[in-house]
Chain A
Amino acid sequence: MLKLRREPSKGALRLRPILEGSPPHPSGFRGRPGEVLDLAYDERWVGADGASTAPEWERVGAACIAAAGEAPRVALDARGLPAQFAVALGFGAVLRAWRFDRLKSQRPRQPRRLELLVDEPDLLEAAWARAEASLAGVLYARELVAEPANRLTPREFAKRLRRLRAEGIEVEVLGRSALKRLGAGGLLAVGAGSVVPPRIVILRWKGRFPAPPVAFIGKGICFDTGGISIKPAEGMETMRADMAGAAACAGAMLAMARRKSPCPAVAILAIAENATSASSYRPGDVLRMMSGRTVEVVDTDAEGRLVLADALHLGATRFRPQAMLDLATLTGSVVTALGHHRAGLFGNDAALSAAVAAAGEAVGERLWPLPIGGQHREDLKSDIADLRQCMPAGTRFTPDASHAAAFLREFVGGVPWVHLDIAGVETAEEDDSLAAKGSPTGFGVRLLDALVERHFEDPHRV
């Protein structure tokens, strides 16, 4: 990914972050964020004013890559920086340098080489190895999200996840017949319209602690047309990313495996394609979920909560986890609520929610708590079934993100649970972030990995 070096290799373009207090350059370059000075053929300065936290240094690293253009060899100069900021600089650079170009017939033959210049490479080795584990998880998730839906079908998704066995992760795939036996009525209904049947993929990392696992539950809708309640054409192409929650869970498992986390973990990924076809499920259908509850379908485009409900139930009953966290690009409502800078945080356990929010803050994947109120649950009363899945389509100003969370809560048993609605943050909306505009962010991988490390790896709490 990136080499630690004392000096730049021959022919490398050196990128030097410049802080406030450095002598002003005659060109007027002052070191402000966003500023770039083309100093010499092999050196550029990048504004890093005010960077004082790891997430800020990651952004500087990303800015360096953006400033490097197409240079094939890039050396980021972190000499003189404290170790954690040097790592952050490299981290941000790797994230920003990633691109998904395997489907372009004309692409650079050699991948870009990155170097991180530090005073003592040996001393940074361990910290960088830790960072690489996270990076591997994030980039893995991004690859999956970036894949178009004709390539990453539910079958292909499961196939790729099977390869995680090489990382020491157990992989179990539940196909249509297994799902039928389990009575996964939600997932089977959502996947019914596609020529590729749905699946649940279970990833297990054993860890070392003799404790119940932490469970990650991911929404993995490989493409979401909306089904019979079909979406408008505009922007529908982005629905290939509707499996970003599942990808993030898988990425987090990979990160934990790479760094040999002592904490046992399980990921349950509900994978399906929500297609329009002669066999699609319909608004008005009543489904019997894996938990036995009946659900009235109101809008086939609110499919994420149906597949998650079965996955949550499976997670709660089969693994009795110490905590369940689900990630899903679930609602447009959360985008209206929080925009592209924070994901929505819901849950049934204040301590767990606080730990999750703190982990997100630490890695720059920011969350904001949203309520599940009594009225939100009340709104899900159905005339025909135990509950309905959402408010009727076309109802004005509906707090659908909270409705979805209230719905999911019905399927978590008594397990401490957090739901992250990551619609709006799974794709970079601006160019000044850790991913190029329009490309997947891998949001959630680092958060889950950091949460486990900070909160679930203390042997004394087992």
Chain B
Amino acid sequence: MLDIVFAKPALPKSGALVLPIVEGAALAGLAGALDAEMNGGLTRALEAASFKGKKGQSVTLWAPAGGITKLVVLGLGSAADAEKLGGSMIPAISGETTCTVATDGLSAGQAASLAMGAALRFYRFDRYRTMEKAEDKPKLTKLTVASVDAAAAKAAFAPMKAVAEGVFIARDLVSEPANVLNPVEFAERCRELEKLGLGIEILGPKDMKKLGFGALLGVAQGSINEPRMVVMRWNGSGKKKADKPVCFIGKGVTFDTGGISIKPAGGMEDMKWDMAGAGTVTGLMAALAGRKAKVDAVGIIGLVENMPGDNAQRPGDVVTSASGQTIEVINTDAEGRLVLADVIHYAIEKFDPRFMVDLATLTGAIIIALGHEHSGLFTNDDELAARITAAGLATGEAAWRMPLGEAYDKQIKSDIADMKNVGGRPGGSITAAQFIQRFVQGRPWAHLDIAGVAWSSKDSATIPKGATAYGVRLLDRMVADHYEG
């Protein structure tokens, strides 16, 4: 993670300098100081470049004064989104070794948000690039955020930093290829989070057999890689008798070939991120522990690989889930819901949670419905719906509520079992959610279908192309706003 420090405003002796300017504002603070040192040169340069401070405008000067190597003046428009600003300045400065950014006009909290944005954008997954030339790598090692209230900014940044670490854990997991990150390896990486104070329990196929996980094991049986279920516990409430925990459940299909109902070859490589729900839950639990959230929380992830092996389950198979309900497997590529069914049942029986939120890259249909800007939110609880929607807006991880209803539930009736695992193309994401709902025993529950938002094909201000870790910040925010203390 980028080394970020907070300091009182002073022109740096070396390195880069970033000056964000509100539209129409006079040069003040560090900008004023620099302009004075340049004998009005900055004012002249900005005039020559017709710089008005409009959003998206920027002016770059090399070696403007003193030891400063590069000056980037950024237009903020009328109102600054500090986090986006922090993220969007990264490409301009990642070639410098050190950089100072001015935050004149921003509060201490906004200065911290700016640092958060910078940290999130600076992430990169490059462990498999062995031939990259040094000049192509980012050189930035230290970012100084200049704030008049540096101490308060630093304090505000501490919990954000923990959340950013959680985001990076999730992004790393999602980015890893499936030959490296199989269920066993995923579980081992979760084990490393014990150092944050998380209680980690790992269950293998024998345990799951005892628990009657027929649905999850049916998916797993086509792969030589054994399935795992990981239970991550964080008891942060400090109470002797822990609260009913909040519970997060993740789909972790480390690779999804589709099984016997095999997927088309085009784009199949994307299926390494079919464990993004589990990745997010893991990152979220790390974030909660990292910032010592005052909440009792449990994260449970079901890890399998869906392969068309010689023992793979077939379309037409009937499996018995941990809840006792039987499922006719019509399409082996609708495997995520099978995994979730058993994990959710386990969560209820073992933890009696206050509510459950599951995350899953569950359906292509949700992308056809909503695209890539919103996840699909399905829930039986209006309060959860409101809280998730609000936290999503606040963190830039938007969720769009989708309907549930009996009419949709009818689509998964089976002639031979209690239900079948697909309900046809119409309302494909809804019938998937209806399937999951059959295992929640009427408890408060929300399901986020993140198939369209787990991976990004282009850079955005705070998320470089690739794994987004969608959900870590949203759910961390929801916990912080409603379930702590």
| Residues of chain A whose beta carbon lies under 8 Å from any beta carbon of chain B | 333, 335-342, 368, 370-371, 373-376, 396-402, 424, 429
Contact = CB atoms under 8 A, between A and B. Distances in A.
A376 B405 CA distance: 27
Given A371-B374, A373-B374, A337 B411 contact: no
Nearest to A340: B426
Interface of B: 266-267, 364-365, 367-374, 400, 402-403, 405, 407-408, 411, 425-431, 452
B371 A376 contact: yes
7 contacts: A333-B368, A336-B428, A337-B427, A338-B427, A340-B426, A341-B407, A375-B373
Nearest to A368: B403
Contacts, number: 78
Contacts of A399: 367-371
B425 A336 contact: yes
Contacts of B411: 339
Given A340-B426, A376-B371, 17 more contacts: A335-B426, A336-B369, A337-B368, A337-B369, A338-B426, A339-B411, A341-B405, A368-B403, A371-B370, A371-B371, A371-B373, A371-B374, A371-B400, A373-B374, A397-B364, A399-B367, A399-B371
Contacts of B266: 396
A339 B374 CA distance: 19
Contacts of A340: 426-427
Given A335-B425, A336-B425, A339-B427, A398 B373 contact: no
Contact of A341 (B373, B374, B427): B427
A402 B371 CA distance: 8
A366 to B, nearest CB: 8
B368 A336 contact: yes
Contacts of B426: 335-336, 338-340, 424, 429
* Shortest beta-carbon contacts, A-B, top 9: A339-B427, A337-B369, A399-B371, A339-B426, A397-B367, A373-B373, A341-B407, A336-B368, A336-B365
Given A335-B426, A338-B403, A341-B427, A370 B408 contact: no
Which one of B266, B373, B411, B429 has the greatest number of beta carbons of chain A within 10 Å?
Answer: B373
Given A368-B403, A397-B452, A424-B426, A337 B373 contact: no
Which one of A333, A339, A398 has the greatest number of beta carbons of chain B within 10 Å?
Answer: A339
A360 to B, nearest CB: 13
A288 to B, nearest CB: 28
Contact of B369 (A333, A374, A429): A333
A61 B206 CA distance: 55
A398 to B, nearest CB: 7
Which one of A333, A399, A402 has the greatest number of beta carbons of chain B within 10 Å?
Answer: A399
Given A337-B427, A339-B427, A397 B373 contact: no
A335 B371 CA distance: 15
Nearest to B374: A371
Contacts of A376: 371, 373
Nearest to A429: B426
B462 to A, nearest CB: 16
B369 A401 contact: yes
A370 B429 CA distance: 14
A33 to B, nearest CB: 11
A374 B460 CA distance: 13
B369 A338 contact: yes
A368 B425 contact: no
Which one of B368, B411, B452 has the greatest number of beta carbons of chain A within 10 Å?
Answer: B368
Contacts of A398: 367-368
Nearest to A338: B427
B229 to A, nearest CB: 29
Contacts of B368: 333, 336-337, 397-401
B376 to A, nearest CB: 9
A398 B371 CA distance: 7
Nearest to A402: B371
A273 B205 CA distance: 60
Contacts of A375: 371-373
A221 B403 CA distance: 29
B430 A339 contact: yes
A418 B365 CA distance: 24
A383 B364 CA distance: 28
Contacts of A396: 266-267, 364
A373 B370 CA distance: 9
Nearest to A433: B407
Contacts of B428: 336
Contacts of A374: 373
A368 B405 CA distance: 12
B370 A402 contact: yes
A339 B267 CA distance: 26
A117 to B, nearest CB: 30
Nearest to A342: B403
B51 to A, nearest CB: 26
A429 to B, nearest CB: 8
Contacts of A338: 369, 403, 426-427, 430
Nearest to B366: A337
Contacts of B373: 371, 373-376
A387 B196 CA distance: 51
A371 B407 CA distance: 23
A402 B452 CA distance: 14
Contacts of B429: 337
Which one of B400, B408, B427, B428 has the greatest number of beta carbons of chain A within 10 Å?
Answer: B427
Nearest to B411: A339
Nearest to B373: A373
A49 to B, nearest CB: 14
Nearest to A397: B367
A175 to B, nearest CB: 38
Contacts of B405: 341
A370 B368 CA distance: 11
